[in-house]
A and B are shown apart, each in its own frame.
Chain A
Amino acid sequence: MDPRPTHETDLMSDLMKRIGAGDSDALAEVFDACSPLVLGLLFRILGRRSEAEEILQEVFLQVWIQAERYDPERASPRGWILMLARSRALDRLRRRESSRRREEEVAGQAGLLAVHPLGTERLEAVERRSRITSALSLLSADQRHCIELAFFEGLTHTQIAERLQAPLGTVKSRILLGMNKLRQTLSA
């Protein structure tokens, strides 16, 4: 069950049911509600706008096709879509040479970031983002960095240790402590 049910989650769950029944208007609503965040995640992982948009299409096509497989007991609709996107992006990332991973600088894309109109749902999303940003800020820089390498680049303990040239035990410890602190903050 979604640990943090919200009004947004209830609304999205209804939309997912409609998509499962073949309602393309519902897909449009979910796309409008989630695609900026999903594209943000894809862009954060892939670092290339064009590739991120390509994966975004694949993700929402998958949502359209597999909406009836969505299990509200296991994740929120937004979480399910974000995890689909992460999984696809990491697959793409793994196929790419690491030296070419960051050809497009995030800074150079600043002009592409859009400001959203602040409706009720948007406001809720902004609040949630603010909450996780605050939670992340409570972690040490090392803890945050290890967790981000695992989450946004799909690296394992061993790969992170190699990347950072840090002892494996230290990396494990940073991740464990960082995740536990995140849990405490978010569930507070």
Chain B
Amino acid sequence: MDAPRDHSARHDELLPAYALGALDGDELREMEEHLATGCAACRRQIPLWQGDLEELAASVEPVEPSAVTRQRILKLAGKNGKETARVQAPPRWLALAAALLLTVAVWAVWQQARLRTEAESLRAERARLVEQVTALDRRLAQAQGDNERLAETLSLITAPGAKAIQLAGLGSSPGAVGHTFINYSQKKAIVYAFGLAALPAGKTYELWWIDAGGHPVPAGTFDVDENGSARVLVDKVEGAEGIKVWAVTTEPAGGVPQPTGETVLKS
């Protein structure tokens, strides 16, 4: 039993047209589905029909190919060998050139990627260095300012005739202390205050001296830093030799011509 159950006379009728390629539509589908079952009867028949068709193909009048066609085919097969002919490979020099170009292209891409990474790294490094330089500039400017102030202070307090006067805390700032360095010849004074409380908004500290006539003279306003410290330079101290008292009061922001607030430091 080599024919499946569904093989029938109808399949025998369809086979010649199927082998010829003339079936279409439902008949073609029907035949293909039947062949997909692996029908042995059909498998035996199809080569026979194909053999007939080969005879039909051989019924044509032969035509001699041109010498060029023959040369092309045999050159391709004979000269280049089978593997070469299969892929119609380019000449060896072209393959080498292509390989070289590919290598160069890969190297160029790699170089480009490497340089891009390097450039990004350098840009980041430059930004970091710029930031560092800016910070150093800031610190240098601050150090220069500190230095200048220190030099100014040293110049003032070490000059002949300089005098130091101590101020003590009062009222709400009993722990505060102050030092006034006065240079009579230069008519300058520097006041250092320590331990003063930070003031609320709208308030400021104001420095005073009391002249020989007992009148308070305003010498400038100041705020303290986070440590409660401050340094005040007084450029023109009139009647320095007659000054009896140095004092600091709390006043409205901007200062006042006459003391109105609490005295927190006094000599």
Contacts and interface: CB of A to CB of B under 8 A. Distances in A.
Interface residues on A, range: 35 or more
Contacts of B86: 64-65
B259 to A, nearest CB: 110
Interface of B: 13, 16-17, 19-25, 27, 47-66, 69-70, 72-74, 76-78, 81-83, 85-86
In the A-B complex, list the 3 residue pairs whose CB atoms are closest, starting with the nearest. A114-B64, A79-B54, A36-B62
Contact of B53 (A22, A25, A36, A83): A83
B160 to A, nearest CB: 113
B101 to A, nearest CB: 28
A133 B224 CA distance: 124
> What's the dominant secondary structure at chain B's contact region?
helix
Interface in A138-188: 147, 150-151, 154-160, 172, 175-176, 179-180, 182-183, 186-187
A156 B61 contact: no
Contacts of A75: 47, 50-51, 54
Contact of B70 (A31, A113, A132, A158): A31
Given A28-B74, A83-B53, A22 B81 contact: yes
Contacts of B53: 79, 83, 151
B51 A2 contact: yes
Nearest to A172: B17
A15 interface: no
> What's the dominant secondary structure at chain A's contact region?
helix
Contact of A156 (B22, B66, B73, B81): B22
A186 B18 CA distance: 19
Contact of A133 (B47, B59, B76, B78): B59
Interface of A: 1-4, 22, 24-25, 27-28, 31, 35-37, 39-41, 43-44, 49, 52-53, 56-57, 60-61, 64-65, 73-76, 78-79, 82-83, 85-86, 109, 112-114, 116, 125, 128-129, 131-133, 135-136, 147, 150-151, 154-160, 172, 175-176, 179-180, 182-183, 186-187
B65 A1 contact: no
B74 A31 contact: yes
Nearest to B68: A53
A160 B47 contact: no
Given A40-B61, A125-B58, A183-B49, A150 B20 contact: yes
A133 B58 CA distance: 9
Given A83-B54, A150-B20, A160-B22, A136 B65 contact: no
Contacts of B50: 74-75, 79, 83
Given A40-B63, A61-B73, A183-B49, A79 B17 contact: no
Given A39-B65, A158-B24, A136 B52 contact: no
A176 B74 CA distance: 41
A158 B25 CA distance: 9
B62 A114 contact: yes
A44 B20 CA distance: 17
A182 B20 CA distance: 13
Contacts of B85: 61, 64-65
Contacts of B21: 150-151, 154, 156
Contacts of B22: 150, 155-157, 160, 175
B47 A114 contact: no
B233 to A, nearest CB: 100
10 contacts: A35-B65, A37-B58, A40-B63, A75-B51, A76-B54, A79-B53, A113-B61, A136-B56, A183-B52, A186-B55
Contacts of A176: 13, 16-17
A176 B21 CA distance: 12
Contact of A179 (B17, B47, B64, B70): B17
Nearest to B15: A179
A160 to B, nearest CB: 7
Nearest to A177: B16
Nearest to B88: A61
